Each structure stands twice: as C-alpha cells, then as structure tokens.
C-alpha cells in the first residue's frame, strides 16, 4: 500500500516538474503594438534604446561574414591572436573537424596564460565527445556546460542558452547564427553544409557583448569577469550605431517579443525577414498583417526542402495562409538548410544574432540580438537577402490551400506544443 502511495507521489512530482517546462513567463504582451512612427524617426531609436536595455552606442564597425568559409577563419584568427582574454558562449558545439579546431585554438591560448572562459549549452553539446571537453579543461580552459540535467533543475530543462557570443580581448566580438559543427563549414554548396551569416564587431558595442556573456557566467559560477582585460577602453571604429540586448526566461523574457513588435509596427516601406525557424505567435502575425495593410512590402525567406526540424516545418506552415492572404511574399530556400536570422526594415534598421522568429527563442531560450541603425549596412544586408532569394522558390496561397490533408492534421496535433518548438 505504502509503495503505491510513494510511487504515485513520485510520478506526480515528476509530472509537475515536467509541466514547469511549458510555463510561459509572467507579464507577456497581449495587445498589438500600434504604428506611431517610422524606423527613421528619432523616437524609434529613443524607445528601442530604453525599452530593450542597453543604450544605443555610436562608432562601431560590423562585418557580415557569409557561411563557414568566411566565418570560421575569422573567429579562429581572433582566438589565436588573443592577448588578454577570451569569452565564448554557444548552443551547438559538436565533435568534428571544426570542433577540434576550436578546441585546439582555445586550449593553446589557455596554455599561453590567456584566461579563456567558455559556456556550452548542455543540450546543444550532446554530440560533443567527452574527450574534447577534457582536453580543453586540461589545458586550463574554464569551461562550463549550461544547465546539465539534474533532479533539482528538471523543471527548467527546457530553458537553454541559445546565445552565440565570442569576445576576444574585450575588443573584438562575434555574434550571429553559426554553431560549432561541421554542418556550418564550406560555402552552403550542398545539403550537408548549411547557409548562415555571422558578424564580426569592433567598437563600443563590444562591451555589451561582454556584458551579455557575463550575464550567464555569473549565473553559472557566481563570479563576475571584470577589469580592463574584459572591459578595456573602446574607441570608435566606424560609423554604425548599435546595441546588443539579451532575453531570458529569468529576466527580460519579453525583450525580444517587444523588439520584434516595435520594429514591425514602425515599418513603412519594407520588411525583409530570413528565419530558420518561423513559428510566430498571434501578436506577431497580427503585426505583420497590419503592416501589409498599410502598404508595407513583406518578404519572408524560410527553409525549403532541407530542414533539420520536421516538427517546426509542420507547425510553421499553419500560419502561412493568413500572411499570404494579406499579401506577404514567402520564399523557400532550396540548396540547403537556411539557418540565417536576419531582419531588415525600410533599409534603415537591421537585427541579427541568435534569435529565431519563434516563441521558443522569444520566451524560453537565453538569446542575444544585435540591433544596427545604419542605412549603409541595411542596404548591404538587403543585397545579401536578395542574393539568397535568387536561390529560393516562391510559395503561393494556392499551394498552401492545396497542401495534403496529412499536413493539416499534423499542424493540429502540434498546436498544443507550438510554443515549445
């Protein structure tokens, strides 16, 4: 009798802890943000700067890097040149050639006496061999895996760090969509090598990348990384205004949601969105439709036949009908998996980083996004977006209406867990 009661209590406790993973943060946005100003209006910058956290800072230089052939050499060169510090946070880190290259570069700098601090997500590093972790730690790399599974954090196992942050000497920063795995190597020339964009950053905004890394380092270790080796004096390196802000279920979870809603509401001419995982909520869909109704041209670039998550692919398509009906253009990238995260509005405003256009990124993951306020840079990223469109096929409302019944049924089945995808 007592063992039945005990087993029931244990099962109930496990279920309750599991259900904690489905909780959304308190105080979520409930009403659509109205169009009050354009992205070119100083009011837009004023509100983005104070509502999202760190202030917009001027004098930055941002270089867009395309695919592994450009991204990984730039990151590895920066690591190998480090003199005072390296901080590195990533979601995906898998064994393979590029994983070994990063391990060796980080280890070499640690053996040379440079403090190297690394955060790797526990779920994202499942495909990482223990020997790779052991070799880095043996070399002196201060390495922590974010939220490894324990009985006491079972209720938060769904909250992962999805941030991609690398800061070298407190002066050179990187962020974007790339993970440390062989899928990102090459030049997106075949289905085994993904399409992605990453960004090299210099200037005062790099301090905000460093602070974003510190946000999780403090959570994990209880120690703050400060002093001139992490936060040196940063001079202006270019003409770009930018800021980086973070979101997390434990604080600032609505920052990403608010950013997307404010930016879409401010659009007056164009919205170009490249999204590897596109599962928006009702408010984001309403905001996009409202923009279409006031004459904004919306182009959405999504993965086509090559997609690493079947559930996301199915759940995403359920919402395409309303957008297509309202006049949005949806294009499906054909050559390989599209992993880019890019938002360009009115050739004035660009948002990049680790954040996907889905509710998991917005409410469950730890994320970091870099917002850039520069017509020149926005023009450059529009050209990148349009080059990707050339490798995509348009998807029509007629195609959406005629999708197979099994797809429609699967969309309904996935509806209750849509926020988890």
Check if 346 is active-site.
Answer: yes
Task: Please tell me the distance from the alpha carbon of residue 231 to that of residue 207, in angstroms, as a whole number.
Answer: 6
Given the residues 23, 169, 182, 219, the one annotated as active site:
169
Residue 204 CB coordination number (10 Å) = 17
Q: Encoding tokens for residue 47?
A: 């509100």
Dihedral sign, Cα of residue 94, residue 95, residue 100, residue 106: positive
| Alpha helices by DSSP H, 243-374 | 255-266, 282-293, 310-317, 320-326, 359
Specify the 3-state DSSP secondary structure of 342: strand
Given the residues 196, 341, 358, 366, the one annotated as active site:
341
Check if 150 is active-site.
Answer: no
Backbone φ and ψ of 359, nearest 5°? -75, -20
Task: Please tell me the distance from the alpha carbon of residue 130 to that of residue 136, in angstroms, as a whole number.
Answer: 10
Residue 76 CB coordination number (10 Å) = 16
| Alpha helices by DSSP H, 327-404 | 359, 375-389, 397-401
Given the residues 214, 241, 281, 346, the one annotated as active site:
346
> Which of 279, 324, 340, 314 is closest to 409 using CA atoms?
314
Backbone φ and ψ of 196, nearest 5°? -155, 165
Burial annotation 271-292 (CB, 10 A radius, 16+ → b, else e):
bbbbbbbbbbbebbbbbbbbbb
Dihedral sign, Cα of residue 32, residue 36, residue 40, residue 42: negative
Given the residues 144, 162, 193, 331, the one annotated as active site:
162
Contact in structure between 343 and 272 (CB atoms under 8 Å): yes
Check if 401 is active-site.
Answer: no
Check if 339 is active-site.
Answer: yes
Given the residues 142, 193, 243, 339, the one annotated as active site:
339
Residues taking part in catalysis: 162, 164, 169, 339, 341, 346
């Amino acid at each position: 009798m007592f063992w039945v009661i005990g087993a029931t209590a244990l099962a109930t406790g496990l279920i309750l802890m599991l259900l904690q993973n489905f909780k959304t943060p308190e105080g979520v946005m409930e009403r659509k943000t109205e169009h009050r100003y354009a992205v070119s209006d100083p009011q837009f910058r004023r509100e983005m700067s104070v509502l999202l956290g760190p202030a917009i800072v001027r004098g930055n230089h941002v270089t867009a890097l395309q695919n592994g052939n450009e991204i990984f050499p730039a990151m590895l060169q920066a690591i190998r040149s480090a003199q005072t510090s390296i901080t590195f946070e990533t979601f995906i880190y898998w064994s393979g050639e590029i994983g070994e290259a990063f391990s060796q570069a980080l280890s070499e700098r640690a053996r040379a006496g440079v403090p190297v601090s690394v955060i790797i997500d526990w779920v994202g590093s499942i495909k990482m061999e223990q020997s790779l972790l052991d070799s880095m730690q043996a070399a002196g790399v201060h390495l922590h895996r974010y939220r490894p599974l324990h009985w006491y954090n079972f209720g938060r196992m769904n909250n992962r760090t999805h941030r991609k942050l690398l800061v070298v000497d407190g002066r050179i920063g990187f962020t974007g969509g790339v993970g440390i795995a062989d899928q990102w190597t090459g030049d997106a020339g075949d289905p085994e090598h993904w399409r992605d964009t990453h960004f090299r950053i210099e200037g005062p905004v790099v301090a905000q990348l460093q602070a974003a890394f510190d946000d999780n380092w403090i959570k994990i270790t209880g120690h703050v990384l400060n002093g001139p080796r992490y936060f040196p004096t940063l001079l202006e390196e270019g003409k770009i205004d930018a800021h980086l802000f973070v979101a997390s279920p434990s604080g600032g979870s609505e920052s990403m949601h608010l950013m997307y809603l404010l930016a879409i509401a401010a659009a007056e001419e164009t919205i170009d969105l490249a999204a590897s995982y596109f599962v928006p909520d009702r408010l984001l869909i309403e905001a996009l439709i409202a923009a279409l109704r006031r004459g904004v041209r919306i182009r959405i670039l999504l993965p086509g036949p090559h997609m690493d998550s079947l559930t996301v692919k199915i759940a995403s398509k359920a919402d395409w009908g309303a957008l297509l009906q309202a006049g949005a253009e949806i294009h499906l990238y054909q050559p390989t998996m599209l992993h880019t995260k890019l938002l360009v509005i009115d050739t004035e405003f660009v948002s990049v980083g680790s954040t996907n256009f889905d509710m998991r990124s917005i409410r469950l993951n730890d994320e970091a996004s870099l917002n850039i306020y520069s017509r020149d840079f926005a023009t450059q990223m529009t050209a990148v977006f349009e080059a990707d469109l050339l490798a995509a096929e348009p998807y029509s409302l007629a195609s959406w209406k005629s999708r197979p019944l099994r797809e429609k049924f699967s969309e309904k089945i996935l509806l209750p867990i849509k926020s988890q995808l």
